[in-house]
């Protein structure tokens, strides 16, 4: 399975999506900072599963209908940072889709995630991630899960990794820095957490007009299923 995750920088990079999808043929597309109302319903054979409704910085997930059938969709609100309360960029920070593989018959959950901005504490972002993983488990207890997006977590990833492992998930970073706009803030912002999948690679794609570089995740479903 191939997944592209991309923070569009307030929708500025939306015009790049057709080229990205055509060139890299992902099975799933996870977007952050999108104008969901302005997104097309179809991008080179991929269809919009779900997106946030009222967010200024929207989140969305696309999938291939010839491979998967969406059986459930959900937007998840997480604890707000001070920036969220003042600027109100987002009240929902996860879009999750439960998908049924048409050929193999198995189900899994894919999610696009956008953590609180750098003005918030890392402790709040860890709390948001814990809450997101708990909600995804409720959506399909025991199902494989992969959550990709902008984690806004460039430093002290040891604490983040420990938090994710406590929930039985794996943290997989990109092979290169994904945020390059300001030298002092450069780092691995965009990556994946997963359970029930083996993430083989998280490849950082070339820079577009966004201040984030898109990532291409290659993952394989684990042979052993999760315990219910």
Closest CA to 29 of 54, 57, 52, 59: 59
Please report whether residue 180 resides in a domain. yes
Instruction: Give the separation between CA 110 and CA 24, rounded to whole angstroms.
Output: 18
Please report whether residue 227 resides in a domain. no
pLDDT at 228: 42
Please report whether residue 62 resides in a domain. yes
Number of domains, the chain: 1
pLDDT at 74: 95
pLDDT tens-digit series, residues 88-101 = 555 789 999 999 99
| CATH code of the domain covering residue 35 | 3.60.10.10
pLDDT tens-digit series, residues 99-132 = 999 999 999 999 999 998 877 788 888 889 999 9
Say if residues 170 and 161 touch (Cβ distance below 8 Å): no
Number of other CB atoms surrounding residue 209 within 10 Å:
11
Instruction: Give the separation between CA 133 and CA 109, rounded to whole angstroms.
Output: 11
- CA distances to 126, 162, 170, 193 from 159, rounded to whole Å, are 8, 5, 13, 14
Please report whether residue 61 resides in a domain. yes
pLDDT at 161: 84
Q: What residues in the chain have per-residue pLDDT under 50?
A: 86, 227-228
What is the helix (H) or strand (E) element at residue 83, kind and residue range? helix 82-87
Expressed as residue numbers, the domain containing 119 is 2-221
């Amino acid at each position: 399975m191939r997944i592209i995750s991309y923070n569009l920088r307030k929708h500025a990079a939306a015009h790049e999506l057709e080229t990205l999808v055509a060139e890299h043929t992902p099975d799933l597309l996870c977007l952050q900072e999108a104008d969901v109302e302005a997104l097309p319903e179809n991008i080179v054979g991929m269809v919009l599963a779900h997106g946030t409704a009222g967010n200024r910085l929207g989140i969305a997930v696309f999938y291939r209908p010839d491979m998967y059938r969406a059986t459930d969709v959900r937007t998840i609100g997480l604890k707000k940072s001070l920036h969220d309360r003042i600027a109100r960029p987002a009240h929902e920070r996860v879009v999750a889709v439960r998908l049924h593989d048409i050929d193999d018959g198995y189900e899994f959950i894919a999610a696009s995630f956008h953590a609180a901005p750098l003005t918030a504490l890392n402790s709040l972002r860890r709390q948001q991630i814990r809450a997101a993983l708990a909600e995804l488990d409720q959506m399909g207890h025991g199902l494989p899960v992969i959550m990709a997006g902008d984690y806004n977590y460039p430093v002290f990833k040891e604490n983040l990794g420990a938090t994710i492992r406590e929930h039985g998930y794996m943290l997989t970073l990109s092979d290169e820095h994904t945020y390059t706009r300001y030298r002092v803030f450069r780092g691995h912002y965009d990556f994946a957490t997963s359970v029930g999948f083996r993430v083989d690679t998280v490849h950082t794609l070339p820079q577009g007009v966004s201040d984030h570089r898109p990532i291409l995740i290659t993952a394989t479903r684990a042979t052993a299923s999760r315990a219910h």
